[in-house]
Structure 1
Amino acid sequence: MSLYLRRIAIDGFRKFREAMAIEGLTDGLNIVIEPNETGKSTVLEALRAAFFVRHGTKNQLAQSFAPYGEAVGPEIQVSFDADGAPWTVTKRFLRGASIEVTGPQGKAQGEEAEARLHALLGSVRDTSQRGDAGSYGALGLLWVAQAEALTVTGPGQIVRDTVRSTLEAEVGSIMGGPAYARVRTRIDEQYGRYWSPTGQKRGRQNEARERVEQAEAAARDASERLAGLERTFSELESARSRLKVVHREIADDTDVQARKDLTASLETARAAAQILATRRAEHEAISAKTRNLEDLVDRHRKATDERTSAELALEAARSRRAEVREGLATAQQRLADARSALEAARTARQEARRALSAGEELLRTSRRRSAVSAARARHAELVDLERLQVEAAALTATLIPAKAMDAIEANERLVAEARAARAAGATRVALVGDAAGILIDGEPMAIGERTLSGETRVRFGNAELIITPPAGAASAEGALSSALERQASAFADLGLTSLAEARARNDTARDAVGELRTIAARIAAVTPADDVIGLASGPDALKLFIVELVDEDEAVEADIPDVALLTAKLEAADTALARAEGAQESAVEALRRAEKEDAPLASAEAGAASTLANANGQIETIEGRPEFPTLAADVVRAREQTAEAAVKLEEATRDATAHDPAAITRRIETIDARVKAAGEARVKLEMDVARLEGTVESEGGKGLADREAGAREEAEAARAALQRITEESDTLKLLRDTLDEARDETSAKFVGPVAKRAKRHIERLLPGCDLSFSEDLTLEAVVRGGISEGCGDLSRGTQEQLAVLTRIAFADMLLEQGRPVSLILDDPLVYADDARLDLMIEILSEAAERMQVVLLTCRDRAFRHVPGNRLSMARILLDGV
């Protein structure tokens, strides 16, 4: 059966802040053409929400239904026909969430209404956060949102199961049908007791494994305790044996006698070491005295040599400095002369600068007086111009607005028209001759013509002439009076008496506007900036300057000197100063060179004098010591004593080496450590024996052997149970996998009929092609000329067209099954060229003969020529809203 939408009404849903409806949907092709951003895609989202999103949900998708920034309850009403019966669904989300479904069975609300919709449409409850089109059934595949058709995708599980049911008779199998579902459900129940959905072990397998692990742990514990008791018996016998050995070692007195002998040897070694230390100290003392005497001799020799060298250096330095002194004096005198010349040049330059500054000041004063005088003259001219500007501005204010002038002109035309109408319909009379005694409407009548618009009485003595003009003359007279009154009122409001006066006033005002522009230009011309007096441009700056101007002395100006001549004198003074500075720098450089040449000579002279003084001081100090007269003999005698002390030290060293105190001490310490270790070992073994005897006494009566045997039997039973359960779980898994393989083989049989139906449509687009479908009924490739092309490698336009055509093929198969089918395409065929667009529209028009097709598009030119029911989105007031 086909599902036919009749009316869609939306309120408070995303961009539809106000109520909107699409009405008049028909059975065939329906085209909704609206510009971008008008909500076509939102209409499709609202349809999906009305049919498939649970009313009470508050997930992320439902939260997005409310218009941004508003706390309202989005509401959708959809009227449609299904299986020849009218249905209506009204659903509200978030605030006051509700649903009401009206159909052949009457009204239903709440969960019952949701259940009726799912049963009618073949959908299931959507539990996702953002909406799962696979749970929407056939309409989830056929209601295509914007850009969803740009790639070829397969149908969802619900559609695949429905298609398989349709094709079971053709392929001769029930795999995938209700019978398969019942068998598979029972196997899945048993499978779930042993395996998780992802193939992980759980349930009975985990319980059996835990039992094995616990039993094995208990068996290991019992075995370990039994083995521990047996190890305790062995350790007890071993500890008793080692304790006997320790007792025998402690009773042996060999180490005691050896220690006495070593102690005696240690005393002898210590005496030899004392003698060695004494001989070493004597040798060191004599050696130090010898070194001191030899050092004193060496220092006296060095000081004598240094004195001789210092005397020669001092004499040479003094001779060289005498040669340099004459040049140094000349440089100093030259520097003094240069400094005097520089001071004179600086004084002359300062006088020239003062003279130039005084001349420039006199020049600036003169220029300022001239500028101030000119500013006063411009200010007087500015005052006159501003007076003229005020007068012109007053005239421009009398300009009659264009709207008022248009009204006066219109009134004038109405007066002229009314007068013409009155002249056309009125009666004209003329009086000639003598008018004495003739009255018209009770007043004397004048000679000449008169126009009569109403009833008029003319009296001639006792006779009276009544003149009655045509009826239209009175209305013309009334119109003329009304026009004259309006014109007089308009003139009075503007202070005018006639239209000519109004025009003259406007002409004068317009001239004043031009005059204002001229005056503004003149004001700008007479108010320029003047840097001499610091005056900015503009009338305000000029007026402020005049107001703040202090009366200046306008006495006779002094003679202004020649600034150029003064500048030249200053430049000459600068040149002289520069030359003087150069001469001074040259003198300073010459003095610096002379001083630089004298400096090392002075330093060398001072150094030589210092060295000579130090050498003389050292010689005097050394020669003043009491041992200096006999120094040579003392050195020889000290060297002989050092040799004798060395011989005695060698003899003491040989004696000390024969008895080593450190080695004897180490042997004594070894014996002491061995005795101590034996005592500690005895104490430890005594403790170990006591501890092991206590353990044997406590553990020996607990029946550990019987416990170990029982735990081992329980572990064997648990392993047998685990093996049995593992075999059962593997059998169930094998059976389930076998069913899956059988189903996959059967699924492959469905590909042929599906490809046959799809090729009927796709061959019109791609003549001579073969189709390749996957097991999940997804179009994978197109074979043309023996070459297979994956759908992902085709152009975006071809992918979109194939996606639409495969959906039409599935829709035809669903129609055969009697499922509710309706095709909605949002912004379809955006990448199609003109030829393919015409072909696709032709195919869609043919499909519209079998089912309802709704196109939502913004491309008016592309679908302008397509015959179909054209609709628009209109704002309305929802029923009950």
Structure 2
Amino acid sequence: MSLIIRRIAVDGFRKFRTPFAIEGLAEGLNIVIEPNESGKSTLLEALRAAFFVRHNTRNQLAQSFAPHGEAVGPEIKVGFDVDGAPWTIMKRFLRSPSVEITGPEGRAQGEEAETRLNTLLGSVRDTSRNGDISTYGALGLLWIAQTEALSVSAPGQIVRDTIASTLEAEVGSIMGGEAYRRVRARVDAQFGLYWTPTGQKKGRQTEAHERAQRAEAAVREAAERLAALERSFTELEASRRRLKSVQREIADNTDVQTRKDLTASLEIARAAAQILSTRKAEQEAATGKFSSLADLKDRHEMAIAARDTAMAALQAARERRAEVAEVLARAKDKAATARIGLDSARTERQVARSALTAGEGRLRLSRRLAAITSARRRHEELLALEKQHRDAEVLAATAISAKSITVLEEHDRAVAEAQAIVNAGATRITVSGQVEGITLDGQPMSIGEWALTRTAHIRFGAAELIVTPPAAAASAEETLASALRKRKTALEELGVEDLAAARTRNEAARDAAAELRTLKARIAAVTPADDVLALTAGAEALKLFMSELEEAPGQDDNASPDIPKLTEALETADSNLARAEGVLDSAIGALRRAEEEDAPLATTEAGAVSDLANATSMIKTIEARPEWATLDADLTKAGEIAAEAAVKLEDAKRDATAHDVTAINRKIEVIDARVRTSAEARTKLETEIARLEGTIESEGGLGLADRAAAAGEEAEAARAALQRVTEDADTLKLLRDTLEAARNETSAKFLGPIAKRAKRYIAQLLPDCELTFSEDLALSSVVRAGVDEHCASLSRGTQEQLAVLTRIAFADMLIEQGKPVSLILDDPLAYSDDGRLDTMIEILSEVATRMQVILLTCRDRAFRHVPGNRLMMAPS
């Protein structure tokens, strides 16, 4: 079954932001040679999207279809033939997604269209995020994008299943007969009771393992419970001994007396700590007073220094600004003068431009007047030609069709034939001599021969002769009359007298039709396009222009303007304007430099003024404080008070060290904790003793020893059952593996037809070689001169060539199965040398005789000489 892509149109798909279409694809070899970045690979991706990506998917692949930065709905339309029947598909993604397919069975949309497309192309639904070409069927194998052919890979499962049916028909029962299939099915059924398809344990094995595990768990539980009961007796005795020891510790009064002594020492230590806190507060107050007075004096000294510095900076800034002021004034005057010159130059340029515009307008008017005069002349000639054209059309319309002429000829022939029949059957009489007084049916007769076709009465004076012709003559006469009536009716319908007149009218109509073609050419000659009048070619445009022309244009009496002189004047004005702009830019630059020099000086002056004001304000604020007048005396006195407070603080620290409140509290806490711990230990031991006594009472009468023995017997039985099931499972696995090995031995015969088809092509590239295919139909190695070379070790160029050739071999087998097949190669054979490239081109040309082949390439030199249908990529 042939698949012929006829047309591909895309809109809003990746780099194709505007509508684009490639048409004219034909059977055989199609070659599209375009430079890089022209969208060849994008075109192949659009084909795959149209045929295999569901319209309503929003996976990562579909999201990549939209042009970067645009929120549009990519749309693809493809026209193609399948087995000679035309099909079209339109698919839209992301925004308002839709699909519509039209074919011999009619039109379908939505899911029905997707199902119909999958059925037609032998593909399945793709649920991956980035597109799985193995779900595309045969076309996923044969539509090869860039780099996809750089390594030899296996076809997808769909293609393998399709090819398998062809191979099984060729090799017969080498895969095993009916007996083999029954045995294998039985073994697989038993194998499924013990193993998963991946070789993991299941079913009976799992049940036997679970039984053994339950039995082992029961044994462990019974043993643990029996051991726990024995431990309970031992733990009960130990807990009773620990309880007696704790009760003796609680009855001892030593800790009670020690705690009373520590409580008395604690009161003394608290009083010393209170005195220490008081001394710390006094020392901190004295130190704070001294620091505050010292800080006030330091700030006054810093403010005086800042005032002196600000005054010096202000004086320097004012002196420098006075120097710059004169330069700034001169720069302003120069800029004003340059601006006046620029305005004058602009006015001059405007006058020159206006003069040039007016001159060009007069020139255009002169040309328009001449063009209108010519248009009027051509319009008059056009009207005369159109009148001749109408007359010729009327005459040409009188042409009689060949069919009507043929009918007239048939009528003439029928009349002649009827007349001949009448003449042949009529009674002939000859009259001679004196004919006066002789009449025929009452009419005088003349000398000569008469043909009588009906009964005639001839009178000779008083005698009468009755002549009766044969009966056939009457019917012939009626036939002749009928033929004459028909001819007359046909001539009257056509409005001609006879056949000769009809032919003459036809000749005149034919001459008029020829004249029509001549008149059309003359009309086209007198109605050319006119750029001056913005008039397009054609009679209608000329007549419309003349109808809209209100009145006859006057004559341009003004002399033609001197456009070169006016242009020269404008160029001079432009030069003057450019010089004036340059002078102004220079003046503005000088002014800007002067302003830039003055700006930091002004900033410095303002900063100095602000610093001087701040320093003066701070000095006044400090000297206005009440403590300023006696600051020196107060500072000395505060230093003495701070020293005295420090001495008192040291004395208080020595007294507090002798009685440490924290240490005493820690000792009391240790005693209290020991008492609490003893009480808690007694409570816990009493609880534990009660629990153990209850456990011994409840567990002692349950027969735990008997239970442990029964659990051991069940465990032994479960282990034996597990061993039997394991042996059965291993035996089935071994049997299945043996059958698989036997099947693998026959796989060479199964793969033989594939190797034979592929070798037909590969032998042209690699003579005297043998091919080896893997179980998944992938070309695994090539044997040359007794050396087995794995495909992965071959050069990139050889791998690419082998990948293309094996795909062609698979395509031949798919054609035999009646599958829709075509071959698309995107930038193929990039690593091929010149010799192998020529060989591959010959193979592709030969393959194109059986299927459509589309080459998308940027290598013009490599494919320039290849015969085929060449196409260009251009916007629609």
For the aligned pair, the TM-score class normalised by the smaller chain equals 0.5 to 0.7
- Identity across matched positions, percent: 52
Q: C-alpha distance in 1, partners of 2:449/2:208?
A: 137
CA deviations over 1:151-208 (Å, ceiling 9, x no partner):
464375546799xxxxxxxxxxxxx9xxxxxxxx9xx99x99x989999999999999
Q: C-alpha distance in 2, partners of 1:308/1:734?
A: 106
For the 8 Å contact 2:196–2:202, the answer to whether it is kept is: no
Aligned twin of 1:148: 168
Task: For residue 496 of structure 1, give the secondary structure of its aligned residue in structure 2.
Answer: coil
Q: CA deviation at 1:435?
A: 4.1
For the 8 Å contact 1:150–1:796, the answer to whether it is kept is: no
Aligned twin of 1:246: 246
For the 8 Å contact 1:286–1:642, the answer to whether it is kept is: yes
Instruction: Go from structure 1 to structure 2 and tell me whether the alpha carbon gap of 1:160 and 1:667 turns closer, same or farther (over 3 Å shift).
Output: closer
Question: Is it true that 1:562 corresponds to 2:561 in the alignment?
Answer: yes
Q: C-alpha distance in 1, partners of 2:391/2:469?
A: 55
Aligned twin of 1:279: 279
Aligned twin of 2:863: none
Note the 1:592-631 alignment, pairs <5 A.
Answer: 592-625=592-625, 627-628=627-628, 631=631
CA deviations over 1:548-581 (Å, ceiling 9, x no partner):
55x3586776747736255554444444333333
Note the 1:550-699 alignment, pairs <5 A.
Answer: 551-552=550-551, 559=558, 562=561, 564=563, 566-625=566-625, 627-628=627-628, 631=631, 635=635, 638-699=638-699
Unaligned runs of 5+ in 1: 1-35, 39-67, 70-143, 163-175, 177-184, 748-772, 783-788, 800-826, 832-881
Q: C-alpha distance in 1, partners of 2:536/2:711?
A: 112
Question: Is it true that 1:331 corresponds to 2:335 in the alignment?
Answer: no
Instruction: Go from structure 1 to structure 2 and tell me whether the alpha carbon gap of 1:360 and 1:213 turns closer, same or farther (over 3 Å shift).
Output: closer
Instruction: Go from structure 1 to structure 2 and tell me whether the alpha carbon gap of 1:794 and 1:353 turns closer, same or farther (over 3 Å shift).
Output: closer
For the 8 Å contact 1:153–1:778, the answer to whether it is kept is: no
For the 8 Å contact 1:205–1:725, the answer to whether it is kept is: no
Instruction: Go from structure 1 to structure 2 and tell me whether the alpha carbon gap of 1:156 and 1:373 turns closer, same or farther (over 3 Å shift).
Output: same
Q: CA deviation at 1:497?
A: 1.2
Instruction: Go from structure 1 to structure 2 and tell me whether the alpha carbon gap of 1:797 and 1:225 turns closer, same or farther (over 3 Å shift).
Output: closer
Task: For residue 436 of structure 2, give the secondary structure of its aligned residue in structure 1.
Answer: coil
Unaligned runs of 5+ in 2: 1-81, 85-118, 121-163, 761-811, 817-876
Note the 1:211-360 alignment, pairs <5 A.
Answer: 223-357=223-357
Q: Quick one: which amino acid aligns to residue 240 of structure 1?
A: R
Q: C-alpha distance in 1, partners of 2:391/2:246?
A: 141
Q: CA deviation at 1:406?
A: 1.9
Aligned twin of 2:756: 795
Q: C-alpha distance in 1, partners of 2:656/2:379?
A: 128
Question: Is it true that 1:714 corresponds to 2:734 in the alignment?
Answer: no
Instruction: Go from structure 1 to structure 2 and tell me whether the alpha carbon gap of 1:578 and 1:404 turns closer, same or farther (over 3 Å shift).
Output: same
For the 8 Å contact 1:219–1:708, the answer to whether it is kept is: no
Note the 1:379-528 alignment, pairs <5 A.
Answer: 379-416=379-416, 435-440=435-440, 442-447=442-447, 483-528=483-528
Q: CA deviation at 1:506?
A: 0.5
Instruction: Go from structure 1 to structure 2 and tell me whether the alpha carbon gap of 1:375 and 1:314 turns closer, same or farther (over 3 Å shift).
Output: same
Instruction: Go from structure 1 to structure 2 and tell me whether the alpha carbon gap of 1:498 and 1:477 turns closer, same or farther (over 3 Å shift).
Output: same
TM value normalised by structure 1: 0.56
Note the 1:99-138 alignment, pairs <5 A.
Answer: none
For the 8 Å contact 1:195–1:201, the answer to whether it is kept is: yes
Q: C-alpha distance in 2, partners of 1:354/1:777?
A: 96
Instruction: Go from structure 1 to structure 2 and tell me whether the alpha carbon gap of 1:603 and 1:553 turns closer, same or farther (over 3 Å shift).
Output: farther
Q: C-alpha distance in 2, partners of 1:285/1:535?
A: 106
CA deviations over 1:450-469 (Å, ceiling 9, x no partner):
56677877666577788899
Q: Quick one: which amino acid aligns to residue 704 of structure 2?
A: E
Q: CA deviation at 1:472?
A: 9.4
Q: CA deviation at 1:255?
A: 1.9
Note the 1:76-225 alignment, pairs <5 A.
Answer: 147-151=167-171, 153-154=173-174, 156=176, 158=178, 223-225=223-225
For the 8 Å contact 2:437–2:444, the answer to whether it is kept is: yes
Q: C-alpha distance in 2, partners of 1:600/1:202?
A: 90
For the 8 Å contact 2:212–2:719, the answer to whether it is kept is: no
Q: CA deviation at 1:510?
A: 1.1
Instruction: Go from structure 1 to structure 2 and tell me whether the alpha carbon gap of 1:197 and 1:596 turns closer, same or farther (over 3 Å shift).
Output: closer
Instruction: Go from structure 1 to structure 2 and tell me whether the alpha carbon gap of 1:687 and 1:727 turns closer, same or farther (over 3 Å shift).
Output: closer
CA deviations over 1:256-282 (Å, ceiling 9, x no partner):
222222223333333333333333333
Q: CA deviation at 1:377?
A: 5.2
For the 8 Å contact 1:153–1:779, the answer to whether it is kept is: no
Aligned twin of 1:94: none
For the 8 Å contact 2:209–2:722, the answer to whether it is kept is: no
TM value normalised by structure 2: 0.56
For the 8 Å contact 1:246–1:678, the answer to whether it is kept is: yes
Instruction: Go from structure 1 to structure 2 and tell me whether the alpha carbon gap of 1:637 and 1:723 turns closer, same or farther (over 3 Å shift).
Output: closer
Instruction: Go from structure 1 to structure 2 and tell me whether the alpha carbon gap of 1:521 and 1:603 turns closer, same or farther (over 3 Å shift).
Output: same
Q: CA deviation at 1:501?
A: 0.6
Instruction: Go from structure 1 to structure 2 and tell me whether the alpha carbon gap of 1:537 and 1:649 turns closer, same or farther (over 3 Å shift).
Output: same
Task: For residue 446 of structure 1, give the secondary structure of its aligned residue in structure 2.
Answer: coil
Q: C-alpha distance in 2, partners of 1:690/1:627?
A: 82
Instruction: Go from structure 1 to structure 2 and tell me whether the alpha carbon gap of 1:578 and 1:774 turns closer, same or farther (over 3 Å shift).
Output: closer
Q: CA deviation at 1:146?
A: 5.3
Q: C-alpha distance in 1, partners of 2:306/2:426?
A: 158
Q: C-alpha distance in 2, partners of 1:575/1:197?
A: 94
Q: C-alpha distance in 2, partners of 1:196/1:329?
A: 104
Aligned twin of 1:129: none
Q: C-alpha distance in 1, partners of 2:343/2:438?
A: 128
Aligned twin of 1:840: none
Q: CA deviation at 1:327?
A: 1.7
For the 8 Å contact 1:160–1:776, the answer to whether it is kept is: no
Q: C-alpha distance in 2, partners of 1:160/1:211?
A: 36
Instruction: Go from structure 1 to structure 2 and tell me whether the alpha carbon gap of 1:630 and 1:568 turns closer, same or farther (over 3 Å shift).
Output: same
Larger Rg: 1
Instruction: Go from structure 1 to structure 2 and tell me whether the alpha carbon gap of 1:553 and 1:609 turns closer, same or farther (over 3 Å shift).
Output: farther
Aligned twin of 1:131: none
Q: Quick one: which amino acid aligns to residue 515 of structure 2?
A: E
Task: For residue 795 of structure 1, give the secondary structure of its aligned residue in structure 2.
Answer: helix
CA deviations over 1:688-739 (Å, ceiling 9, x no partner):
3344444444455xx33xx23433453455456567768988999999999x
Q: C-alpha distance in 2, partners of 1:619/1:351?
A: 70
CA deviations over 1:658-688 (Å, ceiling 9, x no partner):
3332222222222222222222333333333
CA deviations over 1:291-323 (Å, ceiling 9, x no partner):
334434443443444344333333333332222
Task: For residue 233 of structure 2, give the secondary structure of its aligned residue in structure 1.
Answer: helix
Instruction: Go from structure 1 to structure 2 and tell me whether the alpha carbon gap of 1:361 and 1:202 turns closer, same or farther (over 3 Å shift).
Output: closer
Task: For residue 311 of structure 2, give the secondary structure of its aligned residue in structure 1.
Answer: helix
For the 8 Å contact 1:219–1:715, the answer to whether it is kept is: yes
Instruction: Go from structure 1 to structure 2 and tell me whether the alpha carbon gap of 1:232 and 1:572 turns closer, same or farther (over 3 Å shift).
Output: same
Q: C-alpha distance in 2, partners of 1:482/1:633?
A: 163
Q: C-alpha distance in 2, partners of 1:222/1:605?
A: 101
Aligned twin of 2:96: none
Instruction: Go from structure 1 to structure 2 and tell me whether the alpha carbon gap of 1:374 and 1:433 turns closer, same or farther (over 3 Å shift).
Output: farther
Number of matched pairs? 603
Q: CA deviation at 1:505?
A: 0.8
Q: C-alpha distance in 2, partners of 1:790/1:556?
A: 94
Note the 1:779-790 alignment, pairs <5 A.
Answer: none
Q: C-alpha distance in 2, partners of 1:316/1:731?
A: 110
Q: C-alpha distance in 2, partners of 1:371/1:522?
A: 19
Q: C-alpha distance in 1, partners of 2:211/2:757?
A: 60
Task: For residue 586 of structure 1, give the secondary structure of its aligned residue in structure 2.
Answer: helix
Q: C-alpha distance in 1, partners of 2:460/2:552?
A: 97
CA deviations over 1:103-126 (Å, ceiling 9, x no partner):
xxxxxxxxxxxxxxxxxxxxxxxx
Q: C-alpha distance in 1, partners of 2:616/2:181?
A: 126
Q: C-alpha distance in 1, partners of 2:437/2:275?
A: 192
Q: CA deviation at 1:483?
A: 4.6
Q: CA deviation at 1:352?
A: 4.4
Note the 1:7-86 alignment, pairs <5 A.
Answer: none
Q: CA deviation at 1:480?
A: 5.5
